[in-house]
Amino acid sequence: MASAWRKAFELSHQYWPIVLQHMLMGINAHINLDLGIAAVKVSEGKNLADLETDFNRINEILSLLVHEVQSNLSVVWPALKYILKWSGKVDDYLVDFSMKLARNGAWKFANQFSLVSEEKRELEISLRDTKVAGIVNIILKPGLMVTIALRIIRITEFGSVAGKIRKMQ
Task: Give me the residue spans of the domains in the chain.
Answer: 3-168
Name the pTM for this structure: 0.83
CA 38 to chain centre: 16
- Determine the average pLDDT of the residues in 100-106: 92
pLDDT beyond 80 at 114: yes
pLDDT of residue 89: 66
pLDDT (tens digit per residue) in 59-94: 888 888 887 888 888 887 777 777 777 776 666 666
Residue 108's closest CA among 64, 45, 56, 44? Answer: 56
Helices of type H across the chain: 3-10, 19-29, 36-42, 52-76, 79-87, 90-114, 121-140, 144-156, 161-168
Q: Which residue has the higher pLDDT, 114 or 158?
A: 114
Residues 100-128 have a mean pLDDT of 96
CA distance 89 to 104: 22
